[in-house]
Structure 1
Amino acid sequence: MEYKDYYAILGVDKNASEEDIKKAYRKLAMQYHPDRNPDDKASEEKFKEINEAYQVLSDPEKRARYDQLGSAYHTWQNRGGPGDFNWSQWATGAPGGVRVEVGNLDDLFGGAGGFSDFFRTIFGGGLGGAQGVNMEDLFRQAGGSQGRGRQRSAPPRRYEQPVTISLAEAYQGTTRSFDVDGRRLEVKIPAGARTGTKVRVPGAIRDASGQTHDLYLRVEVADDPRFKRKGHNLHTTVPVDLYTAVLGGEVTVPTPAGSLVLTIPPGTQPGQTFRLRGRGMPHLKDPSRRGDLLAKIQVQLPRNLTPKQKELFRQLAEMG
């Protein structure tokens, strides 16, 4: 598999912090999100690549392994890590143990020293001879039995995949489609999901041995410039002209489900907040319960007054 520079894909330095990586991922995920680029195959592939890079670099353990293995990382990953390595492709029967021919395997694992580094990374030791190595101890560490290379069934692994959704999707619930091992999976993300919510897809991943593993979607809710989410409540700012604030009237308030009309009383003050009950985010475990939407009034003063308007304001000032 071709080596992928995940740092370059996200546009960050190799010494980037977790926060820098998260910010870069969110920016790119929003830019190339399929909902923003319908029927754009190039953007769809870019979005998948961005998610693949973030899945590795956002996980400290995977990132450390990626940094250590370099171009050998995908070979190691495709074999399922140390617990799922398919020894049978390399083992040859031999009395007294199992031998592995390593004459040209360095090329497979990324150049000079790659194969040796690969095993040191997994087993913490060297390889010994140049032409072959007794694998008895290595099989024991990898789950073998009595040095004969019989591999015990490894425990199920946990796979995670980041997925970005909008606040409106988190409000209503949504679905995402994934192609896994030639199968098309439709996964429902429940209403009320927030950044960090994990959605389990049982048995979605099948490894080379036929064992199945669960897939967890790790939700990232993109920022919405109209709202601030605090718990189950949403906060928004509503611009109101001076005349409506003074005289009272109707104003339009945004919600994740669409706009609604709010009637404000005469003399509404700048910064005054109106609570719209049940218009906030649904509770993840009970979507029938919702938080509130708090609408803060932002009074907009008139600009470029006519002489007559200025005179009227002077008269009001004298009367007040």
Structure 2
Amino acid sequence: MEYKDYYKILGVDKKATDKEIKSAYRKLARKYHPDVNSSPGAEERFKGINEANEVLSDPEKRDKYDRLGSDWRHWQQAGVDPNDFWTQFATGGASGPRGGRVQYGNMGDMGDIFGGGGSAGADVFSDFFNAIFGGMGGAAAQQAGGGFNRASQSRRGQDLEHAVEISLTEAYLGTVRVVNKDGQRLNVKIPAGVKTGSKVRVRGKGGGGAGGGQTGDLFLRIKVASDPRFDRKGDDLYTTVPVDLYTAVLGGEVSVPTLTGDARLKIPAGTQNGQKFRLRGKGMPSLKNKGQHGDLYARIEVPLPAQLTSQQRKLFEELRKTS
């Protein structure tokens, strides 16, 4: 049976702190995760990285492994049968390994790295691991009455995604979408203020777990359809308001579209083409700060008349003389 040098696998010193171990694990997991690395041997390397982290991130397992390390070298150098070593380890000089279930380690870390709960192909530990932590292992352990049972694996179910498109008005007001999952109709509430790329989580409606593990979650990935009236930047909205030349020159009231109906805006005399006016609180609701809204910016567009009547031309000529 091959000895596993977990410190070497993670590239850390034997005196490494928990923080250093976690950092090394996350770095290597990103590099060798099967979802991002399809090179030959990457999946096996990833399994080894996960197994090393399972041991070194758990104080009890790490302590048992550290005591095993020096004993292992002693028995190897003495040329003793490995089965004798396991008997000694299980019944004598070192504390015997406990039976029971081995949890797949550090699911939270994997969720932070890859946005889900675990990875295919990374849930099988080596015989070396199982012999230490999942049962006595080997023929000598059978003689000792402990039996050898491969550690049962508990793994959280896979998170699932479902794409949903909603209108800008629905994103403003909030809405509900019906999702069919395995013949079950789920009414999922989409909160006001979501953006394209937002994800709405439905807990416990993803893939089934293995070995008694938790069911994964279902995520609705939101796409907010474009609205020809508005441009959105964060929680602010921008719209273009056409204003006739006379109102721009003399001032007056104009109608501005909002997502809850038209609003009236007073513009001063001499308003310029391209000038912007802010309507406070008329933008999108904030998803993070409940009760707060962005602003709506109305950009004034003053179209010039393409053709003038003779009377209009005469008036403009008189106006030019006075300017």
Q: Report the TM-score range of the alignment, normalised by the length of the smaller protein.
A: 0.5 to 0.7
Note the C-alpha offset of 1:149.
8.4
In structure 2, the residue matched to 1:219 is 222
Q: Deviations over 1:203-250 (max 9, x none)?
A: 113539686221111112222222222222111111111011112222
SS at match of 1:300: coil
Identity of aligned residues (%): 53
In structure 2, the residue matched to 1:287 is 290
In structure 2, the residue matched to 1:131 is none
Note the C-alpha offset of 1:165.
1.5
In structure 2, the residue matched to 1:299 is 302
C-alpha distance in 1 between matches for 2:234 and 2:121: 45
Q: Deviations over 1:134-166 (max 9, x none)?
A: xx99xx9xxx99898886232232212221112
In structure 1, the residue matched to 2:174 is 173
C-alpha distance in 2 between matches for 1:166 and 1:253: 20
Note the C-alpha offset of 1:319.
1.2
Partners of 2:158 and 2:209 within 8 A in 1: no
Partners of 2:254 and 2:264 within 8 A in 1: yes
Q: 1:47-58 to 2 correspondence within 5 Å?
A: none
SS at match of 2:201: strand
Q: Which has the higher strand share?
A: 1
Q: 1:142-161 to 2 correspondence within 5 Å?
A: 152-161=153-162
In structure 2, the residue matched to 1:261 is 264
SS at match of 1:279: coil
Q: Which consecutive unaligned segments of at least 5 residues does structure 2 have?
A: 1-33, 39-119, 138-147
Note the C-alpha offset of 1:299.
0.5
C-alpha distance in 1 between matches for 2:252 and 2:266: 5
When residues 208 and 200 of structure 1 are mapped into structure 2, their CA distance, relative to the original with a 3 A threshold, is closer
Note the C-alpha offset of 1:285.
2.4
Partners of 1:204 and 1:215 within 8 A in 2: yes
In structure 2, the residue matched to 1:78 is none
C-alpha distance in 1 between matches for 2:320 and 2:36: 66
C-alpha distance in 2 between matches for 1:256 and 1:168: 6
2:239 is aligned with 1:236: yes
SS at match of 1:304: coil
SS at match of 1:203: coil
SS at match of 2:271: coil
C-alpha distance in 2 between matches for 1:284 and 1:208: 31
Partners of 1:192 and 1:287 within 8 A in 2: no
When residues 123 and 169 of structure 1 are mapped into structure 2, their CA distance, relative to the original with a 3 A threshold, is closer
In structure 1, the residue matched to 2:86 is none
C-alpha distance in 2 between matches for 1:287 and 1:244: 38
Q: Which consecutive unaligned segments of at least 5 residues does structure 1 have?
A: 1-60, 66-121, 125-135
Partners of 1:181 and 1:206 within 8 A in 2: no
C-alpha distance in 1 between matches for 2:199 and 2:164: 10
When residues 208 and 182 of structure 1 are mapped into structure 2, their CA distance, relative to the original with a 3 A threshold, is farther
C-alpha distance in 2 between matches for 1:64 and 1:313: 71
TM-score (norm 2): 0.52
TM-score (norm 1): 0.53
In structure 1, the residue matched to 2:250 is 247
Q: 1:112-131 to 2 correspondence within 5 Å?
A: none
When residues 123 and 193 of structure 1 are mapped into structure 2, their CA distance, relative to the original with a 3 A threshold, is closer
SS at match of 1:229: strand
When residues 225 and 208 of structure 1 are mapped into structure 2, their CA distance, relative to the original with a 3 A threshold, is same
Note the C-alpha offset of 1:176.
0.7
SS at match of 2:227: coil
SS at match of 2:248: helix
When residues 123 and 216 of structure 1 are mapped into structure 2, their CA distance, relative to the original with a 3 A threshold, is closer
C-alpha distance in 2 between matches for 1:148 and 1:214: 31
2:255 maps to amino acid: T
Q: Deviations over 1:258-305 (max 9, x none)?
A: 221212122111111111000011110233111111111111111221
Note the aligned Cα RMSD (angstroms): 3.5
Partners of 1:191 and 1:287 within 8 A in 2: no
1:253 maps to amino acid: V
When residues 155 and 276 of structure 1 are mapped into structure 2, their CA distance, relative to the original with a 3 A threshold, is same
C-alpha distance in 2 between matches for 1:208 and 1:291: 41
Note the C-alpha offset of 1:62.
7.2
| Pairs aligned (count) | 196
